[in-house]
Amino acid sequence: MKELIANINKDIQSFVAKSSEELEQFRILFLGKKGKIQDLFADFKNVAPEERKEIGILLNDLKNIAQQKIDSFKDSFQSVIEKKAPADLSKPADFIELGARHPLSVMRNEIISIFSRIGFVVSEGPEIEDDWHNFSALNFPPEHPARDMQDTFFIEKSAEKGDIALRTHTSSVQVRMMENNKPPVRAIFPGRVFRNEAISARAHCIFHQVEGLYIDKNVSFADLKQCLLYFAKEMFGENTKIRLRPSYFPFTEPSAEMDISCSICGGEGCNICKHTGWVEILGCGMVDPNVLENCGIDSKEYTGFAFGMGIERITMLRYGIKDLRLFFENDVRFLKQFEGAL
């Protein structure tokens, strides 16, 4: 059998395939079910026991050599086909489906762009905050309802170390900005915030804010009004009007809420504006002197204003979206509508 194996090995080594048809005939001749190598394996039972180990190794090597010969010619034939095959320029291109920015990201970028044109820089901070930055420095008294578990996601409540919670507003970044920078300060603070609220079409436990802060000498409420009027016209159109209504926030005094004329009905009254012609979009006011002092800024020398808005509210008004939950469901049918947005 050794001599027969050697002869077959010579035949395999000397074989040269000129086409894929010849290669297939070679495979059938040597590796087919009725091929020469298979016949040798069938005859292996007649080999003397003392020779079986050696013959078995030779048979396995012979089979591997034949398979390697087939594989080498297959690769060479394939490369030749690839080289000869011309590119078919008439074939349609592969359709690559492009993604789109999330509508909240689109609106966040636009808000940042609007305020950057009048000198506001962007500052961000941590989403997990201590009591000082989230509440105390912002003039929240100990009995304020926002400190209650109903509104805040507390991570740790400790009288010794102080409370640790998910931030309820990006005003905490304002505190960090005032602590680490000397006036003048002109910055906006976009970010995600968390409040323990029931999820509905108009509310969510997670939402996004953009707050703004301007501190300098002789900053007045008139500066605040003009800044917000500029924003409203840039965001909703040149014909947009604003109105300021007295309100209350612990960290601003005086405080106000700002409405814009409804862009859906032009102020005539509709379901969006509840037939008033006005839609509330943000809160604002002059920074309380106590907040300035808490952050190491002389309230007798400097004044400032702050404002804050929900990105979801602005996006809903801009695109006519009526359900807040759509922003968080990642429904592709909804998101595809914003493929053209930048």
CATH for 178 = 3.30.930.10
Q: Which of 165, 151, 244, 251 is nearest to 203 (CA)?
A: 151
φ, ψ of residue 97 to 5 degrees: the values are: -80, 120
Q: What is the pLDDT of residue 78?
A: 63
DSSP secondary structure code for residue 301 in this structure: T
Pick 30 or 226 by higher pLDDT.
226
Which segment of 132-146, 182-196, 240-254, 299-313 scores lowest on mean pLDDT?
Answer: 132-146
* pLDDT confidence bin for 341, thresholds 50/70/90: low
Task: Classify residue 88: in a domain, yes or no.
Answer: no
10 and 148 assigned to the same domain = no
Task: Classify residue 114: in a domain, yes or no.
Answer: yes
Overall number of domains in the chain:
2
Separation of alpha carbons 332 and 342, rounded Å = 17
Where residue 214 falls (left for φ over 0; alpha for ψ -120 to 50; beta otherwise) is beta
Task: Classify residue 102: in a domain, yes or no.
Answer: no
122 and 44 assigned to the same domain = no
* Domain termination residue (choose one: 48, 83, 118): 83
Of the chain, the percentage scoring pLDDT greater than 70 comes to: 93
74 and 166 assigned to the same domain = no
Per-residue pLDDT, averaged over 178-201, amounts to 91
250 and 326 assigned to the same domain = yes
178 and 232 assigned to the same domain = yes
Task: Classify residue 313: in a domain, yes or no.
Answer: yes
144 and 283 assigned to the same domain = yes
Residue 217: CB atoms within 10 A of its CB come to: 10
253 and 143 assigned to the same domain = yes
Per-residue pLDDT, averaged over 188-199, amounts to 91
Q: Do the Cβ atoms of 195 and 166 come closer than 8 Å?
A: no
Which segment of 5-9, 81-85, 158-162 scores lowest on mean pLDDT?
Answer: 81-85
Q: Range of 27's domain?
A: 2-83
Which segment of 89-93, 145-149, 203-207 scores lowest on mean pLDDT?
Answer: 145-149
228-248 tens-digit pLDDT: 999 999 998 898 899 999 999
Task: Classify residue 42: in a domain, yes or no.
Answer: yes
133 and 275 assigned to the same domain = yes
Task: Classify residue 262: in a domain, yes or no.
Answer: yes
* pLDDT confidence bin for 128, thresholds 50/70/90: very high
165 and 213 assigned to the same domain = yes
Task: Classify residue 93: in a domain, yes or no.
Answer: no
**252-261/303-310 β-pairing:** unpaired
Of the chain, the percentage scoring pLDDT greater than 90 comes to: 42
**303-310/154-156 β-pairing:** unpaired
71 and 114 assigned to the same domain = no
Q: Which ranges constitute the DSSP H helices of the chain?
A: 2-14, 20-31, 36-42, 52-84, 103-116, 131-134, 171-180, 221-236, 289-294, 311-319, 332-335
* Domain termination residue (choose one: 42, 66, 83): 83
Q: Which of 150-154, 254-258, 274-278 has the highest mean pLDDT?
A: 254-258
Task: Classify residue 310: in a domain, yes or no.
Answer: yes
* pLDDT confidence bin for 189, thresholds 50/70/90: very high
67 and 116 assigned to the same domain = no
At CA 230, angle to CA 224 and CA 234, rounded to 5?
A: 145
29 and 131 assigned to the same domain = no
